[in-house]
Amino acid sequence: MDLYKKNQLKIYNSLAKEKQVFNPINEGSVGMYVCGPTVYNNVHLGNVRTFMSFDLVFRYFRHLGYKVRYVRNITDAGHLENDADVGEDRIAKKARIEQIEPMEVVQRYTVDFHNTMQKFNNLPPSIEPTATGHILEQIEIVKDILKKGMAYETNGSVYFDVLKYNESEQYGALSGRNIEDSVHNTRALEGQSEKKNPQDFALWKKASPEHIMRWPSPWSDGFPGWHLECTAMSTKYLGEKFDIHGGGMDLKFPHHECEIAQANCSNGVAPVNYWMHANMLTLNGQKMAKSTGNNILPNEIFSGNNDKLDKAFSPSVTRFFMLQAHYRSNLDFSSEAMEASEKGFQKLMQGIRLLDDLPVATKSSLEISNWVENCYKAMNDDFNSPILIAHLFEGVKYVNLLCDGKESLQAGDVSLLQDTLKNFVYDVLGLVDDVSQVNSDKLNGVVALLIRLRKEARENKNWALSDQIRDELLVLGVQLKDGKEGTTFSIN
């Protein structure tokens, strides 16, 4: 039996503002769309946390036996620097500064994004469409919204009429904003004279002569509005109505609010059943920002080449740190927090390494089935990874008690403990014992150095030192073997 049939999963729906039982549109299948990166710079740690949160969701759905289509886009057309539809295209601006083609910017930072996700052991999505690959679909949606009278053209640009939409629908339902209040409190912004109302947003923008990234359309040579791409790609690959749409908390307004309005107008149906939003990551109690210098990149964490941390930390320790907080909670990144997480991660991995050598008894003194049920209860409660991790530490405690002979388990319970710990640590949380691998690499380097010193001693006929190195390594469990190709070693 698929696990999803006996696990009732609850998800916090940002639209309903409460936890709701997850009922997929199609039994046994999940359609999930997550807003991906705008590839004009190295992916920052806050974005990493968002993508890691939805990697956890993706992994748990798969663990439960669902067939998941996970779509995460790449924004490679850029979008304007602020939500007032004015400013410079972010990718084009980077290209101008560095005097390269916009698609060189896109390629460089898409590669960086993929490499970073791989280092954190994030699974790739099922489909990863690009904004520039779906210009035609976006133009068709604009045509459709214009035809239905919910948009208007001005000087080659097309804007969504928010106030007209709000006559029959509720613009602001997701973010909790009251459009009537914002109408009275909004002053006209410079550069918005084309709009009927300041709240209206661009579906298509006419490109200025200096604008690099442009495409032909019925209205002008221009480019799509930022919000449009996600509506086009999500509905193309998941249908007019799908199960889950995710992203960072900062996208709730205006991006996701605009997506809902566009899809409602174009398809005549609310596009998403469950809206999910991951919360912010701060650094030393303050918002991360490159402008203030309160920022750190993933590779700077791994190398230790930064002024924010006292030492380097591995990708899995960093991942473990992030998963120790619920995805909807604020999380503060600091050297002290990372060091505490590293200790916890090492404790967890030490327990995992003992799993294959657990003793088997004729009877069980521990209720393993209850512990397993608690692990699933945690994840079924809106993917509560910190509670799951607390239960996993309880499982490690069981492992140590079994190894010390203070508790006992029969064969079936031993297998259940082993499988559950490995499944949740490796498959669901996506952790890798990279600290052990780093230590192994260091050990290999030290032994290789000693082998070279022993070789020099033998060449100098210093047999006593040569034998001392060999014998003392053997006492430590490292056995040297001399052969025609040189000296090799094994660890006993």
Domain of residue 358, CATH code: 1.10.730
Domain boundary among 428, 453, 475: 428
C-alpha to C-alpha distances, 234 to 127, 134, 160, 231, nearest whole angstrom: 10, 11, 19, 5
Domain that holds residue 461: 434-491
330 with 258, same domain: the answer is: no
269 with 295, same domain: the answer is: no
List, for residues 370-394, the tens digit of each pLDDT value: 999 999 999 999 999 999 999 999 9
Spatial distance between the Cα atoms of 110 and 229, rounded to a whole number of angstroms: 17
C-alpha to C-alpha distances, 71 to 114, 130, 237, 239, 260, nearest whole angstrom: 15, 11, 8, 12, 17
The per-residue pLDDT for 489 is: 74
The per-residue pLDDT for 187 is: 42
DSSP 8-state class, residue 189: P
Q: Which helix (H) or strand (E) holds 18?
A: strand 18-21
Measured from the Cβ of residue 214, the count of other Cβ atoms closer than 10 Å reads: 18
Residue with tokens 């916090």: 12
Domain boundary among 404, 428, 452: 428
Nearest to 110 by CA among 121, 100, 102, 98: 102
DSSP 8-state class, residue 109: H
Residue 153 has pLDDT above 60, yes or no: yes
The per-residue pLDDT for 476 is: 79
Spatial distance between the Cα atoms of 360 and 412, rounded to a whole number of angstroms: 9
pTM: 0.87
List, for residues 211-266, the tens digit of each pLDDT value: 889 999 999 999 999 899 999 999 999 999 999 999 999 999 999 999 999 999 99
330 with 248, same domain: the answer is: no
485 with 417, same domain: the answer is: no
Residue 186 has pLDDT above 60, yes or no: no
* Cβ contacts of 480 within 8 Å, gap of 6 or more: 451, 454, 470, 473, 474, 487, 488, 489
DSSP 8-state class, residue 148: T
Measured from the Cβ of residue 311, the count of other Cβ atoms closer than 10 Å reads: 10
Under a CB-based contact definition with an 8 Å cutoff, are residues 353 and 426 in contact?
A: no
87 with 115, same domain: the answer is: yes
Spatial distance between the Cα atoms of 318 and 5, rounded to a whole number of angstroms: 33
Under a CB-based contact definition with an 8 Å cutoff, are residues 301 and 313 in contact?
A: yes
Spatial distance between the Cα atoms of 274 and 355, rounded to a whole number of angstroms: 38
325 with 439, same domain: the answer is: no
Residue 364 has pLDDT above 90, yes or no: yes
129 with 264, same domain: the answer is: yes
List, for residues 274-283, the tens digit of each pLDDT value: 999 999 999 9
Nearest to 50 by CA among 272, 301, 291, 252: 252
Nearest to 162 by CA among 243, 97, 214, 85: 85
Spatial distance between the Cα atoms of 422 and 355, rounded to a whole number of angstroms: 9
314 with 265, same domain: the answer is: no
Determine the residue type at 96: R
DSSP structure string for 201-244: EEEEEEPPTT--S-B--SS-SEEE-HHHHHHHHHHHHH-SSEEE
9 with 156, same domain: the answer is: yes
Q: In what order do the strands lie in the sheet with 272-278?
A: 67-72, 29-34, 242-248, 272-278
178 with 272, same domain: the answer is: yes
Measured from the Cβ of residue 407, the count of other Cβ atoms closer than 10 Å reads: 17
The residue count of the chain comes to 492
* Cβ contacts of 361 within 8 Å, gap of 6 or more: 408, 409, 410
Between 242 and 483, residue with greater pLDDT: 242
Domain count, the chain: 3
Partner residues linked to 235 by β-bridges:
none
Please report, rounded to a whole number, the percentage of residues in the chain having pLDDT higher than 70.
Answer: 92
Under a CB-based contact definition with an 8 Å cutoff, are residues 91 and 226 in contact?
A: no
DSSP 8-state class, residue 174: T
- CB-side exposure of 254: number of CA atoms within 13 Å? 22
327 with 370, same domain: the answer is: yes
Determine the residue type at 196: K
* Cβ contacts of 472 within 8 Å, gap of 6 or more: none
Cα-flanking dihedrals φ and ψ of residue 19, to 5°?
A: -75, 135
For residue 241, the domain's CATH number is 3.40.50.620
Residue 475 has pLDDT above 90, yes or no: no
C-alpha to C-alpha distances, 337 to 158, 213, 284, 332, 401, nearest whole angstrom: 48, 43, 10, 8, 28
Under a CB-based contact definition with an 8 Å cutoff, are residues 446 and 439 in contact?
A: no
Cis peptide before 124 (omega within 30 of 0): no
Partner residues linked to 34 by β-bridges:
72, 246
The per-residue pLDDT for 443 is: 66
Integer-rounded Cα radius of gyration of the chain: 28
* Cβ contacts of 57 within 8 Å, gap of 6 or more: 32, 244, 246, 276, 383
C-alpha to C-alpha distances, 428 to 24, 301, 382, nearest whole angstrom: 20, 23, 14
Domain boundary among 228, 247, 278: 278
Residue 361 tokens read as 């008894």
Residue 193 has pLDDT above 80, yes or no: no
243 with 324, same domain: the answer is: no
Q: Average pLDDT, stretch 85-97?
A: 81
Between 28 and 288, residue with greater pLDDT: 28
The per-residue pLDDT for 309 is: 93
